[in-house]
Amino acid sequence: MLTSDSGRPPAACSWPLSMTPLASAMLSQLSDREVTMPQNPGSLRDPVLMENEEYRRLDQQHHEYESRLHVLTEKAVLSDEEQFEETTLKKRKLHIKDRMEAIAREVRAAAAPH
């Protein structure tokens, strides 16, 4: 926790300085597992991939989660429920992205000459 010389939190903080134990534990788990995904937008928007029904559904869900996360990140302070929702959405987005990458690998492997 940030503190001033007096030992108290700085007065100008615009984020919550405390979380519920559950939210804190979930955020800690998320931070421990976050891995940078390769950023190759061309492979994820490949027309061949967009023909895959599951991939299209996951892509749409990913965008919905991203939109909701954008709304949450615009807020100066999140309630406990919003903090929990934010963490849950981030985890779901990562899970969806992992599945989309797996589908992309499958499509590329199937398309590769044998």
**pLDDT, tens digit, for every residue of 69-112?**
999 999 999 999 999 999 999 999 999 999 999 999 999 898 88
What residue has token string 């992992």? Answer: 98
Per-residue pLDDT tens digits for 31-76 = 444 444 444 444 556 788 888 999 999 999 999 999 999 999 999 9
Q: Which DSSP string do the residues of 22-80 spell out, in sequence order?
A: HHHHHHHHHHHH--PPP--HHHHT-HHHHTSHHHHHHHHHHHHHHHHHHHHHHSSS--H
Cα separation, 109 vs 107, whole angstroms: 5
Q: Name the token pair of 110.
A: 């199937």
